[in-house]
Chains A and B, each alone.
Chain A
Amino acid sequence: MKAEQIRTLVAKSCLSMDDEKFADYLALCADGFQYRIRSFSPEIGKEMTWLDLGLDELKGLLEAVPKHVRMQGQMRRHATLYTLDEDADGRFSAVSSLIVSHTALNGETHLFATGQFHDRVTFVEGEPRLLARDVMLDTRVLGPGSHMPI
C-alpha cells in the first residue's frame, strides 16, 4: 500500500513539474524539504552540487520561472521507481530511474538528461510527502541550461 502511494508521489512530482503546476508540486513536499541537483565531474574528480534549495528558495525560484528567458516547449520527466527501503526512522528511501526529454515548439524531441531521483519520503497524516530529493544527473552537458528544477 505504502509502496503504491510512494510510486504515485513520484509520478505526481513529475507530472506537476512537466505541466508547471508549481503549487501542486509544492503540496507534495514536507516541511523542511531540500532539493538538490548533483553530478560527478570526471574533469575535476569531484561530486558537484548544481542546485541546493530549501523550500523557501524553491518557491522563490518557481515563482520567477515564467519571467526567465528559457527553453521553450515541453519537458517530460519519465521516472520509474526501482527500489524502496524503509529506514530505521520509519521514513523511506526511494530510488527512481529518470530520463527527461524536451520537445521544442517545432515538435522536435531530444533527450535532455538521464539520471536518478534519490528521494526521502515521510508520511504526514497518512499521505506520503517528499522530505528530500537529490537528482543525481548522469548528463552534464545540458545545452545552455535550464531554470526549471528537474
Chain B
Amino acid sequence: MPRNAKEWAGVPDLPADHFISSEVYRDEGIFRDEQRLLLEKTWKFACHESEVEQVGDYRTLSFCGLPLVVIRGEDNRIRTFVNVCSHRSAELVRAPRGNARRMVCFFHLWAYDTYGNCVNQTRDIGYEEAGPKKEACGLRSIRTEVNCGLVFITLDDDAETLESFLADSLDTLREALTAEPLELFHYHSFKVRANWKQWHETNMELYHEWGHVVNRQQGLNSPGYHDRRISIGKNGHLSLPPYRVSYSNIPGWEDRDSNNFPGLAPGEIRAVDLFPNTSIIIRGTAMRIDTSTPISPSLTLMEFRGLGLKSDTPEVRAERIRNHNQYWGPFGRTQPEDGFFIESVEQGNRHAAQYSIISRRENLGAHDDAALRGYYAEWSRHMGRPAGDPKGNVSAEGPGK
C-alpha cells in the first residue's frame, strides 16, 4: 500500500537498531561530528608498505582535510607528517610519490630530513636575532603504525595502539598479507557523489550482490553461499568467512585454480571490512584494498589498490591483473556498478528518504544485515547517538509521530 506523507516520514515499526535515519548521510552537523569524534579518533589505512619500500620513498595523501606525506626514514621506520612547510606553509612534497632523503621546500628552500627535523633554513643568519631556531621548526608528525604491511595513521595522539584497534580482525588475511612481500599493480581513485559510509556499507552488505549480473550468474543460491557466518569483531570490524567461488560459469573466464594468495584455497574469497572505511578483499588470485576520504556529506574520495606477490613472474602478474580487472578497476564488471548504486542511494537519502532498512536476519548468513547493525552500533558508540535517531527527534516526539 502506498504511504502518505505522515506514514512515509514515520519511524519504521522495527527494533531501534534495525533502521538508519537518512540524516546520518546528509546532515552537515553530523558530518562535522563524524570528523571530530570518529574519523580523527580511529586508525585510517594510508597505504601499503611496499609503496614506500626504500629509505626516502614517500607517498602523499590527504585525510580529514590535512595534506600528509608518508615517508620511510633513514632508520627504515615509516612516518607521516603534515605536508606543509613550517616557514610560510607551502606544500612541501609536491608529487604523489617519489624519493627524498631531504624534503626541500620549493619556495624558500627550507629542508627537512626523513625524521621530520628542519635541517636547513636558507640564509639562516636572518633568524639569529629574532628566531626561530631550526629545532623549533620541525614538521607536524602524525602517529603512524604498520600491521601486516598495512600502514595506518591516526590524528589522535592519545588513540589506542593500532594492534589494539585492529584486535583479531586481520586473522583470516594474515597469511595472505604477510607470507610473502606484496606489490601494487593497480591504483585508481574517483570522487563518488555519495556519503563516505555508503561505499563501506555496500562492501559489508552482500545482499546487494543481487544487483550485480556477474554475481547472479555465479549463483547466489548455490550450495554454501548462505552457510558461511559473518563475524562482527571488536571495534566494528567485520570479517567474512572463506567461501569458494566458481568463476568458469562466466563466459570467457576460467576457475582460479593456481596462484592463489598464500593461505587461500583455489578461488576462495576472503574479505575484511575495517571500521570505519577500509576493506580488504581477496578473490583467490587478486587482492583489492578500498579506502575513502570524506570531503563533504555527499562527496567522497575513493581509492582502490590492486595487489599481487612481489615474486610473481610476468605471466603470473598478468594473470592476477586480468583476474583483478574481471571484477574491479574502472572497467571491472562489478566495481562500477557499486558506484552507480551508491550515487543513486545518495540522491534518495538527500532529497526524499527518511529511513534506510537494515532488518534482515538470516542467522548471520551472508545476507544478514547484522553486518550493518554492527557497524552502526560502533558508529553510535563514537558519535554518542543512535543511527536511527541521530538528532533526538524520535525520542522527543515518540515513535510513529
Question: Which residues of A line the B interface, CB within 8 A?
Answer: 37, 41-46, 48-54, 56-61, 63-64, 67-71, 140-147, 149
Contact = CB atoms under 8 A, between A and B. Distances in A.
Contacts of B358: none
Given A42-B95, A51-B325, A147 B336 contact: yes
Contact of A144 (B97, B192, B211): B192
Interface string B158-177: 00000000000000000000
Interface stretch (B105-113, B180-188, B267-275): B180-188
A4 to B, nearest CB: 31
A68 B185 contact: no
Interface stretch (B34-42, B64-72, B227-235, B337-345): B337-345
A30 B390 CA distance: 60
Contacts of A49: 318, 321, 325
Contacts of B332: 145
Interface residues of B, number: 39
Given A44-B184, A69-B341, A50 B95 contact: no
A145 B330 contact: yes
Given A57-B252, A143-B190, 11 more contacts: A37-B331, A41-B188, A44-B51, A48-B187, A49-B321, A51-B331, A52-B325, A64-B251, A69-B212, A142-B330, A146-B331
Interface of B: 51, 59, 95-97, 184-192, 211-214, 250-253, 318, 321-322, 325, 329-333, 335-341, 343
B341 A63 contact: no
Contacts of A42: 95-97
Nearest to B59: A43
A43 B185 CA distance: 11
A43 B211 CA distance: 32
A112 to B, nearest CB: 11
A57 B253 CA distance: 7
B252 A50 contact: no
Given A43-B187, A46-B185, A50-B331, A69 B340 contact: yes
Secondary structure type dominating chain A contacts: mixed
8 contacts: A44-B186, A48-B321, A52-B321, A57-B251, A57-B252, A59-B251, A60-B252, A144-B343
A48 B185 contact: yes
A133 B41 CA distance: 48
A52 B192 CA distance: 25
B338 A144 contact: yes
A64 B51 contact: no
Nearest to A53: B252
A94 B148 CA distance: 46
A145 B191 CA distance: 11
B192 to A, nearest CB: 7
Of all A-B residue pairs in the complex, the 8 with the closest CB atoms, nearest first, are: A144-B339, A145-B336, A57-B252, A60-B251, A60-B252, A145-B330, A67-B213, A69-B337
B190 A41 contact: no
Contacts of A143: 190, 339
A50 B333 contact: no
